[in-house]
Amino acid sequence: MSTIPKDTGTPAKVTHTDAEWREKLTPQQYHVLREKGTERPFTGALAENHETGNYHCAGCGALLFLSGAKFDSGCGWPSFVIPADSKAVNEHEDNTLGMRRIEVTCARCGGHLGHVFPDGPRPTGLRYCINSASLNFTREGDPK
Ligand code: FE
């Protein structure tokens, strides 16, 4: 079992055994978050979501992205110009599949979220291309 400590500004680690992750997550969430899978473009629930609210990690609940940073990239995955907090995500070089990409993971639970590409709009010029399966959306004003 694990506990999620109070938010102190620096993400505390959340760890589970593989069996616990399999129990906690749907098969698709498990595939994306724990096996670095990618949902097919235009199939995720949140790519076309335009509501105001917050995007949390589907693995651990950490706040990852805000609706104000979301933009229509046309790529088929939810796309953001910046994370909710620079400490919310980690970025790693990923040279799989014959490409040089930067993988984005949840800083709290280590779950795979997607990749960040240098072809986004201003002000950052970045496109955080994130799987819907890695995210839970909370509409502003709704109870958590
Ligand atoms: Fe997480």
Q: What is the mean pLDDT of each run of 10 residues along the chain (144 residues)?
A: 52 90 98 98 96 98 98 97 97 96 98 98 97 97 71
- Ligand 1 center to residue 63 CA distance, Å? 8
Question: pTM of the entire structure?
Answer: 0.90
- Ligand 1 center to residue 131 CA distance, Å? 13
Reduced to 3 states (helix: H, G, I; strand: E, B; else coil), residue 7 is coil
pLDDT computed for residue 144 by the predictor: 60
Going by C-beta distance under 8 Å and a sequence separation of 6 or more, which residues neighbour residue 16?
2, 24, 109
Q: Tens digit of pLDDT for each residue in 126-141?
A: 999 999 999 999 998 7
Indicate which residue of 57, 60, 106, 129 is catalytic. Answer: 129
Active-site residue, 60 included: no
Percent of the chain with pLDDT over 70: 91
- Ligand 1 center to residue 64 CA distance, Å? 8
